Amino acid sequence: MSSNDFADTRKTATTPVVPRRALRDGVYDAILEKLLDGSTPPGSSLGIDPLARELGVSPTPVREALVQLEHTGLVSRVALKGYRVAQPLSPRQMAELIDTRSILEVAAAERAAVHAVDLVPELRAAHAQHVLSAHRVRKLRGEGGHPTGFADLREYFAADWEFHLTIIRAADNRFLLQLAESLGAHVHRLRQTVDHGTMDVDQAVEEHAEILAAFESGDPRRPVEAMRRHLSALAGRATAESSESP
């Protein structure tokens, strides 16, 4: 066998790696959306074979995706029974999650303030997208719609979280960013737990505007204070909605 033949053989052998990874990621995203859109309520079972048939794939990428999702807390594995959708966050878990976000995001705001000149244009764009998506949610409500499903709210939630990630990226610390990204699924789980019927669209937009203004001010203390106020207010709203839920 020539060296060229060996190279061709080696290339052929390694080619499936990327498609398989893409397939696994696609299955992960598909199951994640099922978990977040309310079609699989807490406690419902997640069979590997039924999911594979529904998604038109083999059981292997489904199994791999469920293992990944178990690490997020969105699903749990029960001995001899397979996987189930996790129960909603308890009040204590919600408090711990928001406390973790506060520790991380206040620290990120402090570090990002040093790079405010470069950050502000990106943060304005992220805020504008958040405002636009909030307007669409309000419009659905005004037209008699009931945007409580994940499909209606997905764009709004993504814009909200992107505003926060923009600040965290500006902190220029890869480990802070990794920690924040690892919290993404838990943040979605928090949104599942609270009552979307009393969603805090207006408050969140107003508080994000205050954070943006704080970075625009050039005072490095103001972004830290604004972020701390925002997350404290978020904690209060989440606690109130959780206590009112049946």
Measured between its terminal Cα atoms, the distance across the chain in Å is 71
State whether 147 and 169 are in the same domain.
Answer: yes
Range list of H helices, the chain:
3-14, 17-36, 48-55, 59-72, 91-112, 116-142, 150-170, 174-182, 184-193, 201-217, 221-244
Region of poorest pLDDT, from 1-5, 44-48, 191-195: 1-5
124 vs 108: CA distance, rounded Å: 17
What is the domain-level CATH number for residue 65?
Answer: 1.10.10.10
Nearest to 198, CA basis, from 242, 154, 164: 242
**Domain range for residue 79?**
3-85
pLDDT band at 164 (very low <50, low <70, confident <90, very high): very high
State whether 79 and 101 are in the same domain.
Answer: no
Mean pLDDT, all residues of the chain? 83
State whether 49 and 129 are in the same domain.
Answer: no
What is the domain-level CATH number for residue 192?
Answer: 1.20.120.530
Q: Which of 69, 85, 101 is the last residue of a domain?
A: 85
pLDDT tens digits, residue range 176-214? 999 998 887 777 777 666 544 446 889 999 999 999 999
State whether 16 and 107 are in the same domain.
Answer: no
Of 162 and 95, more confident: 162
Number of domains in the chain: 2
